[in-house]
Chains A and B, each alone.
Chain A
């Protein structure tokens, strides 16, 4: 004789819903997601109630198959909860526990409804385990996807923030590069620089690579391309801020940077001023004549 676990589970959840909800919110309260202060108790209870209600309906409509049509609204609710947790900064454990902590109250409810019928209890436990594991995994998947999204957006923001073109003087631009240069970023950098050259009618652009951690052949090639493009527009480029270790690595790698390069941005700026026919002089403070 086989016992349908789904039926056992359905009965337990329907008959004992209030008790399950009580136990579950109790477990959630103790689990520590409240202590972090990221979510209020009332909100947690509302979520729990909604999820349990939908779980009951889904069981009636879709049986044990958590991927079926009957579970669509429950999956949607869990996805929303999970997404908001990812943004609120919950740990993965906290998020997964939201679903997994439902197991124990349901086990207890199964125990109460099945009474002494051990095989019914076993079938019910198996059924609830199967469904809740699937739902838990679904929650985690959404959680991770939301995290990835957040990370991707931050990466994009960093890329946008870290390629400013600043005007140092009339006709002199500086492009302080920060972070690793890859093809995508070089494209953005190049476009920004060239547009700035047009807008500012710049004669000289200083590319400062103090903030670039490593310069390999690829990065050097990207730099050269930028310099060449700027030259085509009629502006000269000076590369500055090559750190001693990087200079050594470049020479050892055989990377040749056939452009004007200076050790510091200040040196490059001095060259740029000289080329545009300007010079900086100290205001005379004493009788001593300063050059």
Chain B
């Protein structure tokens, strides 16, 4: 069974989804990612989904649950590069991914994660988060 690779870059994990997600793949990803966060102590997760063309309610919920699990393990999830059609579908499904940060592309997503990492190195001062919807 194929799996989605998870890359470690500094204090962040990068996941790029290049294939059509099916349910089992999504579940495997959630498992792998959780294990990886625990092992590496990563503080940020970047989910790059610009190649994802089709979403259903299950994949939407999986995004939410990945973010929730990561938060429990003190890593922040940023979803980057969502296509317009996917965004519309998720909103129509009522999945607004509240609590997950979003970014237009990988560059901005990494900037968000790096900002958080830098902040924490500054002695955990001043919670200057960008607002979350």
Chain A interface (Cβ < 8 Å from any Cβ of B):
190-191, 194-195, 197-198, 201-203, 225, 227-236
Give chain B residues whose Cβ lies under 8 Å from the Cβ of A197: 84, 104
**Chain B: which residue is nearest A225 at the CB level?**
B91
CB distance from B103 to the nearest CB of A (A): 4
CB distance from A219 to the nearest CB of B (A): 16
- Assembly CA distance A230 to B91 (angstroms): 10
B91 contacts A229, CB within 8 Å?
Answer: yes
A203 contacts B104, CB within 8 Å?
Answer: yes
Q: For the complex, is B65 an interface residue (Cβ under 8 Å from A)?
A: no
The size class of the interface chain B forms with chain A is: 20 to 34
A232 contacts B96, CB within 8 Å?
Answer: yes
Q: For the complex, is B82 an interface residue (Cβ under 8 Å from A)?
A: yes
Partner of A228, one of B84, B91, B109: B91
- Assembly CA distance A212 to B109 (angstroms): 34
A232 contacts B104, CB within 8 Å?
Answer: no
A229 contacts B104, CB within 8 Å?
Answer: no
How many A-B contacts are there with CB distance less than 8 Å?
A: 58
Give chain A residues whose Cβ lies under 8 Å from the Cβ of B79: 232, 234
Determine chain B's interface SS by DSSP, over half rule: mixed
* Contact A233 to B91, CB < 8 A, known contacts A197-B104, A201-B105: no
CB distance from A287 to the nearest CB of B (A): 37
**Chain A: which residue is nearest B103 at the CB level?**
A234
B104 contacts A233, CB within 8 Å?
Answer: yes
**Chain A: which residue is nearest B109 at the CB level?**
A234
Give chain B residues whose Cβ lies under 8 Å from the Cβ of A201: 104-105
Q: Apart from A198-B83, A233-B82, A234-B109, what 10 extra A-B contacts exist at CB < 8 Å?
A: A194-B87, A195-B84, A197-B104, A228-B96, A231-B133, A232-B97, A233-B84, A234-B80, A234-B81, A234-B105
Q: For the complex, is B117 an interface residue (Cβ under 8 Å from A)?
A: no
Q: For the complex, is B69 an interface residue (Cβ under 8 Å from A)?
A: no
- Assembly CA distance A203 to B105 (angstroms): 11
Give chain B residues whose Cβ lies under 8 Å from the Cβ of A198: 83-84, 104
- Assembly CA distance A225 to B133 (angstroms): 12
* Contact A233 to B96, CB < 8 A, known contacts A190-B88, A225-B91: no
CB distance from A171 to the nearest CB of B (A): 9
Q: Mark B19-53, 1 if CB is under 8 A from A, else 0.
A: 00000000000000000000000000000000000
Q: For the complex, is B77 an interface residue (Cβ under 8 Å from A)?
A: no
CB distance from B2 to the nearest CB of A (A): 27
Q: For the complex, is B61 an interface residue (Cβ under 8 Å from A)?
A: no
B84 contacts A231, CB within 8 Å?
Answer: no
Q: For the complex, is B102 an interface residue (Cβ under 8 Å from A)?
A: yes
CB distance from B55 to the nearest CB of A (A): 10
Q: Mark B56-98, 1 if CB is under 8 A from A, else 0.
A: 0000000000000000000000011111101110111000110
